[in-house]
Amino acid sequence: MTSRERLAAVLGGVAAGFAGGLFGVGGGIILVPILVGVFHLTQHQAHGTSLATIGAAAISGVAIYAAFGHVEWRTAAIVALGSLASARYGARLAARTSVTGLKRAFAVLLVVAGVRLLWHTPAAGAPPALSLVPTITIELALGVAIGVLAGYMGVGGGILAVPAFTLLLGMSQQVAQGTSLAVILVSAPASSIEHSKHGNVIWRLVPMLAIGAAIGAPLSSWLAQSLPRERLTQAFAVFLLFNAVHIWVKAAPRRAP
């Protein structure tokens, strides 16, 4: 790698880590376009390399959230278990199929979640009245969905986990984000291992990207603790909507000249 490539990789990691810590996502939604546009990786290589990197952002970010008591470890463990079982299948599917249809379906999902969060901000400390068994069932189902999403789309799954934790489990925004990062500690490495088997992880880029992610995530994670819950929720909703438009546009098949 040249010095310019190393610097670009570190800065790309910082951007992904900052987004990951601020919104409780792995940062893959930021990193994948960087890997394709700046480093000219294929879409599949960008997904695999992103997943191999964002664990560093999750580790450094979750430490800050945990220090403030903003991680539901039981939920994180159950959701992570579900994601561990399914992440490999998302990665295998990514290696075999076109992503256009799923990208657009994912964009619609982001719009629904973003509009729902803007329309009604969940009240902190007001979880739905569910007994333990239904709650665990929901958590396992979320884990399976997050694992498939992580493996297929090259993201940690937080972009689905955070709104699900707030809307379905009644977590505050900060707790949802911290718990999401804890899940990503499992979902991202599990997915990256399967991508690596298909040759879709460019390992020479991972160390510099990871260093940048480990720098950016704690800074934004600390900032997220002091932001008002409503503003943070609204910011995350706008983040979802922006990325929905971006994903939909990028998913359009290119016309032959």
Q: What is the pLDDT of residues 43-77, one digit of tens each?
A: 888 888 999 998 888 898 999 999 999 999 999 99
The predicted pLDDT at position 166 comes to 87
Q: Within a domain: residue 235? A: yes
The predicted pLDDT at position 194 comes to 85
The arithmetic mean of pLDDT across residues 159-178, rounded, is: 86
Tell me the residue range of the domain where 199 lies. Answer: 3-250
pTM for the whole structure? 0.80
| CA–CA gap between residue 52 and residue 111 (Å, rounded) | 27
Nearest to 178 by CA among 190, 166, 192, 191: 166
Q: Within a domain: residue 231? A: yes
Q: Within a domain: residue 255? A: no
Number of domains in the chain: 1
The predicted pLDDT at position 102 comes to 60
Question: What percent of the chain clears pLDDT 70, i.e. is strictly above it?
Answer: 89
Q: Within a domain: residue 256? A: no
- pLDDT bracket for residue 224 (50, 70, 90): confident
Q: Within a domain: residue 246? A: yes
The arithmetic mean of pLDDT across residues 100-112, rounded, is: 73
Is 80 exceeded by the pLDDT of residue 34? yes
Tell me phi and psi for residue 199, to 5 degrees: 75, 25
Q: Within a domain: residue 158? A: yes
Q: What is the mean pLDDT of the chain?
A: 83
Q: Within a domain: residue 257? A: no
- pLDDT bracket for residue 229 (50, 70, 90): low
Q: Within a domain: residue 10? A: yes
| CA–CA gap between residue 175 and residue 166 (Å, rounded) | 9
| CA–CA gap between residue 227 and residue 214 (Å, rounded) | 21
Cβ–Cβ under 8 Å, residues 68 and 21? no
**What b/e string do you get for 191-218 counting C-beta neighbours within 10 Å, with b at 16 or more?**
bbbbbbeeebbbeebbbbbbbbbbbbbb
The predicted pLDDT at position 254 comes to 60
Cβ of 255: how many Cβ atoms within 10 Å?
5
Is 90 exceeded by the pLDDT of residue 22? no
Cβ–Cβ under 8 Å, residues 124 and 135? no
Is 70 exceeded by the pLDDT of residue 202? yes
Distances in whole angstroms, Cα of residue 188 to Cα of each of 50, 156, 242, 253? 9, 5, 23, 28
Over the stretch 114-154, which tens digit does the pLDDT of each residue have?
787 677 555 544 555 567 778 889 899 999 998 888 887 77
The arithmetic mean of pLDDT across residues 78-90, rounded, is: 89
The predicted pLDDT at position 183 comes to 92
Nearest to 23 by CA among 125, 154, 155: 155
| CA–CA gap between residue 62 and residue 225 (Å, rounded) | 12
